[in-house]
Structure 1
Amino acid sequence: MPLDALEKTLSRNEILMEVLARSEQLALPGWYLAAGCVVQTIWNVVTGRPPTDGIRDYDLVYFDATDLSWEAEDAVIQRVRDWVPAEVEPRNEARVHLWYESKFGVPCPPYGCTEDAIDSFPSTTCSVGVRVEAGRWRVYAPYGLADAFNLVVRPNPRLAPQPVYQAKTARWKQRWPELTILPWPG
């Protein structure tokens, strides 16, 4: 998938483009807009829906290992709280190992960078991050983008438990019935 096709597709989502521009100004270390907002924009464009249709939030992931406190992450959350018209969910991926097991029932080893976190998202299809720096797009998609453009959702059992994948895919299938949801392995 050529980068220009991805840029053209994502550029149709005006909210995503605004969040990208504002996120660049925050200068968070290792930041990306990631997962659902990116892939769901692709699904919307491919299926002829409005580009923002059904997108609940915009995941802004970053990696700041210099301060693992909740207060530091919450300061970022407060900075983006009033970004209208989008709900932006910032997450310091350096902190995920501190809360993941209590929320999902399985331990999460500490990540070394934002890309490590993206590698372990519940679906390889959604394991994608994008950012724009000084007018240049940067894309991280370790499993490629073909599944997203072909409306295929593939599980990633690397970390997330099966129920997390199943809950997400059930919600997505209701919104985008054209999706082909691949079963959890085993």
Structure 2
Amino acid sequence: MLVTKEDVINCIQQDEWMMGILKDVQTLNLPDWWICAGFVRSKIWDQLHNYPVRTPLADIDVVYFDPSEVDKQTEKEFEKRLAILSPHLPWSVKNQARMHEVSGMTPYISSVDGIKRFPETVTALGVKLDEKEKVVLTAPWGVRDVLKMEIRPTKYYIKDSGREVIYAQRIASKNWLKTWPLVKIYGVNGKLVGE
């Protein structure tokens, strides 16, 4: 059962498939790198739903932070390198030093700062390997929501933030309840959707 941050780390550490992906990304030596979002969240929710088979991922989100090189083409080159290592995986690499331009926010100061500004607390998660190949987990909003399977907006997407429509559109497009029916969704007003 997953109850704590340490439980999540151990669960990922014991997953050979996830560890292989983490090792592939580690070979790029990207500055301040993490694999984030659905890579972590889906594993947790699959476990909490007792699914015997992994839910397929739309993409594997790799983030890093390098203000010295913000050309999108550089990200594509990293995706190509990862595709050589694991060609069957849907790689997505993004430099968080430029992503504030996409989100319309103030510049990020690190990858974790970028992860913190994701729309949902349950998506604002990242993992990487330390120098001893142990899993490190970042969860700027904590792990409570993801472990309770409660989708909530981060403070950047709450009511009157100017970005609440983005949160609502993501909730509608992701259709998470179809995949994980035990999940509860909270709106930008903090109320449970459907009540």
Q: Among 166, 169, 172, which residue is 1:167 paired with?
A: 169
- Do structure 1's residue 136 and structure 2's residue 134 form an aligned pair? yes
Structure 1 SS opposite 2:88: coil
Question: CA shift at 1:12, angstroms?
Answer: 5.4
2 CA distance for matches of 1:76 and 1:33?
13
Matches within 5 A, 1:115-130: 115-130=112-127
Which position in structure 2 is the counterpart of 1:49? 51
Query: Distance in 1 between the 2:76 and 2:108 partners?
Result: 19
Checking the alignment, whether the CA contact within 8 Å between 1:15 and 1:85 is kept in structure 2 is no
Distance 2:58 2:52 in 1: 14
Give TM-score, length-normalised by structure 2: 0.82
Residue 96 (str. 1) matches residue 99 (str. 2): yes
Identity of matched residues, %: 26
Of residues 54, 73, 77 in structure 2, which corresponds to 1:75?
77
Bigger Cα displacement from structure 2, 111-120 vs 171-180: 171-180
| Counterpart Cα distance in 2 of 1:161 and 1:142 | 19
SS in 2 for 1:40: helix
Point out where structure 2 has 5 or more consecutive residues left out of the alignment: 191-195
**Alpha-carbon displacement from aligned partner over 1:116-154 (angstroms, at most 9, x marks no partner):** 101100001211111112222221111111211111111
Match of 2:181 in 1: 177
Task: Say whether the 8 Å CA contact 2:63–2:111 is kept in structure 1.
Answer: yes
Query: Which of 77, 83, 88 is the matching residue for 1:85?
Result: 88
Segment of structure 1 superposing worse, 42-51 or 164-173: 164-173
Given candidates 63, 66, 69, the residue that maps to 1:64 is 66
Report Cα offsets for 1:51-108 as digits up to 9, x if no partner. Answer: 521422111110011111122222212212342432121111111133x15xxxxx22
Q: How many residues end up aligned between the 2 structures?
A: 180
Contact 2:46/2:55 (CA < 8 Å) preserved in 1?
yes
Distance 1:12 1:42 in 2: 13
Distance in 2 (CA, whole Å) between partners of 1:169 and 1:64 is 30
Q: SS of 2:107's equivalent? A: coil
The SS at the match of 2:188 is coil
Query: Is the contact made by 1:127 and 1:141 (CA closer than 8 Å) also made in structure 2?
Result: yes
Give the Cα–Cα distance (whole angstroms) in 1 for the partners of residues 124 and 28 of structure 2.
23
Specify whether residues 40 and 168 from structure 1 end up closer, same or farther in structure 2 by C-alpha distance, changes over 3 A only.
farther
Tell me, yes or no, if the aligned pair for 2:4 and 2:143 is still in contact at 8 Å: no
CA distance in 1, matches of 2:95, 2:154: 21
Structure 1 residues without counterparts, runs of 5 or longer? 102-106
Q: How far, CA to CA, are the matches of 1:12 and 1:85 in structure 2?
A: 22
Give the C-alpha shift of residue 112 in structure 1.
Answer: 1.1
